[in-house]
A and B are shown apart, each in its own frame.
Chain A
């Protein structure tokens, strides 16, 4: 357990599925203003005007000891068509150069079946784990101010699906026409943690 700020406590966990499970069980207790999972941590926000950090930590420790309920993993599979490179994936060339791969080799390694690790960042943005080890690149040193909706990035062994336009820090390798967030739908989130995603290469969107 570590402090993440004056009203934040971070708990380290083993990975995305442990983080999702712990976050869900902490949310159920309704004791925290926000409970957010990361890839290998969960952060809770408490009301620092009402409870002391020490009390909050004791409370959290107690909750960590309770066995988290097993997550119901969604069985759905969603096919995500991706147009790789060019203006759809402006960093693909640079990424391939860095990785010593041709664009065709890259696409061959990137297409296929994956699991959604988590949602986060912006509404509907999906973190998708399990990238081939040969596709491991860093985030951009300077984040972009504008990334188009549907953009597909990679960083740190994961793919990221940009559900909405906005700033972003992942090298962009392609783009999909899949709509990943629809505010007017009863459930605006198309993807959720645990779902299966299949990347398929297409020529154009």
Chain B
């Protein structure tokens, strides 16, 4: 049960559940940068939300299947084809042995997800099979896929149900984003919080699975370069002395010494994975209590299509 990589794209990795409970050793979460989109792909092929699937970056991927199976594609919209026939995202697709799947470049957003029925087999290190390239953990040899890599997956236990994501659960992926965010420990050190919250910023080209730097008004804090290093998490927004804030993403470090000036609410963390250089971006200010209420509302909304939504957002 294998699939081989014809064109790996800029950075295609196997992602699965996040690594938890090891942050105190410096081990980051990893997992899909847009966990909700990956869960939607897995849903269409009957997998658990966090089953191992592929995450592409901006440029897509091309794969050859050596066996009949079911696949689904979600996330950043891109032209996709099996052999030369266009296929749609958000539907269960049956592929035959010898078929070549091509996922094109992302037209909006940054990451497209390809799930395969049964889930990909991947190396499990430190409790997860998600790829963390910096330390070579998980995934396929701990790295992004290369041409010629052969990946294996589980055999399909039963017939695959043909599904399509209902319209109301197709995440719109556009070029302008607003995410909900709360204060963090050093927010009060900002000379003018209105330069950070409820204002438009631009996603810079310094964007990867570790973090995303934002361009906008230069911020200033009353904290110098000697803050004692403190715990950080995906979604935390830090502000170095150069005044350009950055949002930590799934592969970000676990402690850091730049002021923590905001935190993207858990409910909207998945959006960080779709930010693309040049996109417009805003943080909408919420209290912790509002954010918790909105998280529960979001879970309630999604649960009817994704019963295990709480494992990804």
Contact = CB atoms under 8 A, between A and B. Distances in A.
A2 to B, nearest CB: 6
Interface string A129-155: 000000011111111010000000001
B253 A121 contact: yes
Nearest to A10: B185
Contacts of B240: 139-143, 169
Given A164-B134, A183-B136, A155 B24 contact: no
Interface string A166-205: 1101000000000001010000110000000000000000
A95 to B, nearest CB: 13
Interface stretch (B9-17, B164-172, B223-231): B223-231
A101 interface: no
Interface stretch (A42-50, A59-67, A85-93): A42-50
B137 interface: yes
A139 B310 CA distance: 38
A156 interface: yes
Contacts of A4: 184-185, 231, 233, 236, 260, 263
Contacts of B21: 27, 33-34
Interface stretch (B40-48, B84-92, B97-105, B290-298): B290-298
B227 A124 contact: no
Nearest to A37: B24
A36 interface: yes
Given A5-B263, A36-B255, A49 B241 contact: no
Given A141-B225, A156-B227, A125 B24 contact: no
A96 interface: no
B229 A38 contact: yes
Contacts of B258: 139, 143, 169
B225 A3 contact: no
B182 A164 contact: no
B242 A119 contact: no
Interface residues of A, number: 58
Given A6-B182, A122-B253, A43 B230 contact: yes
Contact of A166 (B210, B224, B266): B210
Contacts of A136: 226
A181 B260 contact: no
Nearest to A137: B225
Contact of B229 (A7, A10, A120, A122): A120
A40 B228 contact: yes
Given A27-B24, A41-B230, A164 B135 contact: yes
B23 A156 contact: no
Contacts of A119: 24-26
**Could you say which of A2, A6, A165, A166 has the most chain B C-beta atoms within 10 Å of its C-beta?**
A6
A163 B255 CA distance: 14
A76 to B, nearest CB: 16
Interface of B: 20-21, 23-28, 125-126, 134-137, 142, 182-185, 206, 210-211, 224-231, 233, 235-236, 240-242, 244, 253-258, 260, 262-263, 265-266, 286, 288-289, 291-292, 295-296, 299, 310
Closest 8 pairs (CB-CB, A-B): A138-B225, A5-B263, A120-B255, A39-B228, A6-B291, A36-B231, A38-B230, A43-B231
Interface of A: 2-8, 10, 23, 27, 33-43, 45, 48-49, 52-53, 118-125, 127, 136-143, 145, 155-158, 163-167, 169, 181, 183, 188-189
Given A53-B292, A120-B24, A121-B26, 4 more contacts: A34-B20, A141-B242, A156-B229, A164-B135
